[in-house]
Amino acid sequence: MNLKTLGLVSGVYDLLLALPMLLAARETARLFGAPPPVPVVNAQLNGLFTLSLAVGYFWAARAPEARRGYYWAAGVLAKGLGALLFLVDHFTEGSPASFLLFSATDGTIALLTLAVLLRRS
């Protein structure tokens, strides 16, 4: 996989997460077995953050070699730490098991991004 493809896949992934959080926050929480967000703006802010990541990935995919820094920040740092936070939260705060899906997908994207970036260095 190359950086451009990785950016497009990551952008679509984040877009598919962002839109439900922004447009149907309560229903999305219910779908994942979480309590309704209070206030709902907290879930919508998470959606906005995720939408920003998606837009950034689409931007980076247009010139992946020139925008490698974005892949480090969004793909390795944000996704990697996000995966870790989901994992820790599940075991320390009892968040729903469905949240482990986010840990797995974000963690996989983080590791894949790291591998592609290191391979091309």
Determine the distance from the C-alpha atom of residue 112 to the mean position of all C-alpha atoms in its chain, rounded to a whole number. Answer: 13
User: Mean pLDDT of successive 10-residue segments in the chain (121 residues)?
Assistant: 97 98 96 94 96 98 97 98 96 94 96 94 59
Q: What is the pTM of this model?
A: 0.93
- The sign of the torsion formed by the CA atoms of 111, 117, 119, 121 equals negative
The torsion angles phi and psi of 98, rounded to 5 degrees, stand at: -60, -25
For residue 68 the two structure tokens come to 């490698």
Q: Supply the pLDDT for residue 121.
A: 59
Q: Supply the pLDDT for residue 120.
A: 67
For residue 35 the two structure tokens come to 């309590």
